[in-house]
Structure 1
């Protein structure tokens, strides 16, 4: 697999929530990433795809909730989020896409 394809597989989608919007004012961006991705891969992918400088990456593993659908218990999938801190003067507008 080429490096570019690997980067696109590492960053699944941006997280667009009220909390992530508030973090964007502190030059932080939140992405959904695969459960197997590590901080180094995430930083490398963000720098390559968005042409920005990454200073830190924090990851959060969100465990899936147990929910009922028509009385049958089920479970939502686990997810992993990455909070990427960008260097001073760099920014990413996640609403425009790649």
Structure 2
């Protein structure tokens, strides 16, 4: 996978309380990924970018919510997130990625 596609697949880390609990208990990290990204692409992108061993990847689509605005109803975009499980003893520091 070329370097350009790596940055297209991984949009960024997803930070939430549930993501922090998953990172602490089961060594899983949550990423926002492109809607057309596959599990294999997510695995390769994380391994190349953070230089870690990925054990498992689970993906899901988050359906966009309907929101009421002053102009009527609008729908937020649907997006995809990936739960990436790393090998034992490895972790990702989002502050430094080299």
Q: Do residues 61 (structure 1) and 61 (structure 2) align?
A: yes
* SS at 2:57 equivalent: strand
Partner of 2:12: 13
Give the structure-1-normalised TM-score: 0.93
Give the structure-2-normalised TM-score: 0.93
Partner of 2:86: 86
Number of residue pairs aligned between Structure 1 and Structure 2: 96
Unaligned runs of 5+ in 1: none
Distance 1:97 1:12, change over 3 A: farther
Partner of 1:50: 50
Unaligned runs of 5+ in 2: none
| Alignment RMSD | 1.2
* 4+ aligned runs moved over 3 Å, structure 1: none
* Superposed displacement of residue 71, structure 1: 4.7
* Superposed displacement of residue 97, structure 1: 4.8
